Amino acid sequence: MSEHTPPDGGDPIRVTDSMTGESQVFEPTDDDHVRLYYCGLTTSDPPHLGHARGWVHVDVMVRWLRARGYSVDHIENFTDVNEKIVARIGEAGADERDVAQSYIETIIAAMRGLGCERASAYPRVSEHIEEIVALVERLIDRGHAYAVDGSVYFDVTSFESYGDLSNQAVDEMESQGDPDERSEKRHPADFALWKAGGVDPAAIADHRHDEAAPADEAVDGAQTWASPWGEGRPGWHVECSAMSTAHLADTIDIHVGGQDLIFPHHENEIAQSEAATGREFVRYWLHVGLLETADEKMSSSLGNFATVAEAIDEHGAGVVRTFLLSTAYDSRATYSAATIAEARDRFETLRRGYERAQEGADSVAAFATAPDDDLRDAVADARREAHDGLNDDFNTRRALAALEAATRAVNRHVDRGAPYDYQGCRDAIALYDAIAIDVLGLPLAVAAGGDADDLVDDLVELLLEVRERDREAGNYDRADWVRDRLDELGIEVEDGDGGPTFRRA
């Protein structure tokens, strides 16, 4: 069997599948079409940098797949059914959809603040209750689930490969879910697909930010739905199975989530999805490493997190995004003053390199171009290394290192002084555009001031002033040469009574 070739005809992409632990050639179900699902957030707290790490790496994965010619359906869910959300409803005294929507808007704003492109869809659990109930019914019909007093549990012993993702044996697993559920279960590891009744007031109290919030009557009946087993709400794990199937297919190509979700969440997703459809659920599992502060993972529950908005305000979006991409997605990363300082230096190095390459290409001295083989070779090598890195399990660390190598070559070239290598500088700019900006999503152009067009206009006007002086001095040959060179660069000069004017062709 021949190795899969991406749509652009280049080298294949390899990914490290969490199920096997091995590097494999990425081959989607459909040759040119990728279905990617990312486990999104619960809409109950502002997003922190640990969440942002997943978003940014998934954003790069999608950008690189598209750059290689694939069409990508990227689905990221919002969990808007949860004890935490009911607690927020009580605190706010507001409609549950309004509470969830306010958090969703905060989350999407944070994603956009970090330069993440929008997903194809952001499904909400509350909008997929019908699909969830249908999935639970199918599992009961197939003998993989059972109902007890209005709740429904998945029978883990009915699914032979349960535990394969997390490398655990069923008999050694401890109970999942609430302690009160244990007496209802056939096996301690069975998990809830549907939970009877409303949310336990004690669970609501555990998740409140404000102990002086309104009484529990304010949330009476919140987040419960009718079902064949009575009033209740879905279990956490079944939600993603229903939404991924509804928006993608029974089999999806890439499923991404945090390493802390491998068990029980992703293990349970596999069991319930494959038991319901009889098909492979996910071709490649990719898990994002945890972000730590000191020796702890960053999390809302530990209260040791920096929100995305706070981090952007303090450091800038470019620095934060560079920090998040400075470590391979599947490795652990540490958030500290030192690692942020390193990211700031790296981002400023790339920003300045991009700016200097533009200066070299746009400079008057570029008109007397002087080819620099060292610059051109370094840029070509950096492009190959960046491509190799991104093809190697979306290794952003390698891509950043390649860009830094190209930047060193740009700096050496510009530091030597005029004349500059116009084509070499343009090659460097193309590399920054294609990899740093379009794939890694770094805001180099914005960081450079966003005024590049104004700078070019100023330089053209300066050239026209020099040209006018040449004409006044009778140096028509050089004046014509300036006009012709500007025309070659796409700038048309028109001489009029009020002096020369120009426009971009």
Q: Count the helix, strand and coil residues of the chain and give each as a percent rounded to the nearest 5.
A: 50, 15, 35
Nearest to 461 by CA among 502, 496, 494, 422: 502
Q: Does residue 44 sit in the same domain as residue 193? A: yes
The vertex-299 CA angle with 296 and 301, nearest 5°, equals: 110
* pLDDT for the residue 200: 57
* pLDDT for the residue 217: 41
* pLDDT for the residue 500: 78
Q: Does residue 412 sit in the same domain as residue 378? A: yes
Q: Does residue 290 sit in the same domain as residue 420? A: no
Last residue of a domain, one of 297, 322, 340: 297
Nearest to 270 by CA among 37, 440, 101, 487: 37
Whether the predicted pLDDT of 417 surpasses 80:
yes
Last residue of a domain, one of 274, 297, 320: 297
**Rounded Cα–Cα distance for residues 356 and 428 (Å):** 10
The vertex-18 CA angle with 332 and 291, nearest 5°, equals: 15
Last residue of a domain, one of 256, 278, 297: 297
Q: Does residue 71 sit in the same domain as residue 131? A: yes
The predicted model gives 358-381 an average pLDDT of 84
Report CA 349 to chain centroid distance, whole Å.
23
Q: Is residue 323 part of a domain?
A: no
* pLDDT for the residue 336: 92
The predicted model gives 114-136 an average pLDDT of 96
pLDDT digit string, tens, across residues 236-269:
899 999 999 999 999 999 999 999 999 999 999 9
Q: Is residue 309 part of a domain?
A: no
Q: How many domains does the chain have?
A: 3
Q: Does residue 266 sit in the same domain as residue 356? A: no
Percent of residues, the chain, with pLDDT higher than 70: 84
Q: Does residue 124 sit in the same domain as residue 251? A: yes
* pLDDT for the residue 76: 97
Nearest to 400 by CA among 301, 473, 319, 286: 319
* pLDDT for the residue 45: 83
Whether the predicted pLDDT of 121 surpasses 60:
yes
b/e for 217-255, b at 16 or more Cβ within 10 A? ebbeebbbeebebeebbbbbbbbbbbbbbbbbebbbbbb
Q: Is residue 46 part of a domain?
A: yes
* pLDDT for the residue 222: 66
The answer to whether residues 32 and 7 touch, using CB atoms and an 8 Å cutoff, is: yes
Whether the predicted pLDDT of 201 surpasses 60:
no
**pLDDT confidence bin for 182, thresholds 50/70/90:** low
Percent of residues, the chain, with pLDDT higher than 90: 66
Q: Does residue 402 sit in the same domain as residue 489? A: no
Task: Quote the pTM value.
Answer: 0.83
**pLDDT confidence bin for 199, thresholds 50/70/90:** low
Q: Is residue 333 part of a domain?
A: no
**Token output for 233:** 């709400």
Q: How far is CA 484 from CA 133, 249, 323, in A?
A: 71, 57, 45
* pLDDT for the residue 447: 52
Q: Is residue 325 part of a domain?
A: no
Nearest to 328 by CA among 392, 391, 395: 395
116 annotated as a binding-site residue: no
292 annotated as a binding-site residue: no
Q: Does residue 227 sit in the same domain as residue 374? A: no
The answer to whether residues 85 and 41 touch, using CB atoms and an 8 Å cutoff, is: no
**pLDDT confidence bin for 449, thresholds 50/70/90:** very low
Q: Does residue 163 sit in the same domain as residue 264? A: yes
**Rounded Cα–Cα distance for residues 489 and 502 (Å):** 12
Q: Is residue 274 part of a domain?
A: yes
In this structure, what CATH number is given to the domain that contains residue 117? 3.40.50.620
269 annotated as a binding-site residue: yes
Q: Is residue 318 part of a domain?
A: no
Q: Is residue 170 part of a domain?
A: yes
240 annotated as a binding-site residue: yes
pLDDT digit string, tens, across residues 138-171:
999 999 999 999 999 999 999 999 999 999 999 8
**Rounded Cα–Cα distance for residues 241 and 427 (Å):** 45
Q: How far is CA 157 from CA 171, 271, 288, in A?
A: 9, 10, 29
265 annotated as a binding-site residue: yes
pLDDT digit string, tens, across residues 55-76:
999 999 999 999 999 999 999 9
* pLDDT for the residue 364: 56
The predicted model gives 351-360 an average pLDDT of 95
Q: Does residue 149 sit in the same domain as residue 209? A: yes
Q: Does residue 121 sit in the same domain as residue 226? A: yes
Asked if residue 371 has a cis previous peptide bond (ω within 30° of 0), the answer is: no
Q: Does residue 235 sit in the same domain as residue 372? A: no
**pLDDT confidence bin for 94, thresholds 50/70/90:** low
Coil, strand, or helix at residue 333?
strand
Whether the predicted pLDDT of 286 surpasses 60:
yes
The predicted model gives 286-296 an average pLDDT of 86
Domain containing residue 161: 14-297
Q: Which residues pair with 34 in a beta bridge?
A: 72
The predicted model gives 22-34 an average pLDDT of 97
**pLDDT confidence bin for 95, thresholds 50/70/90:** low
* pLDDT for the residue 320: 98
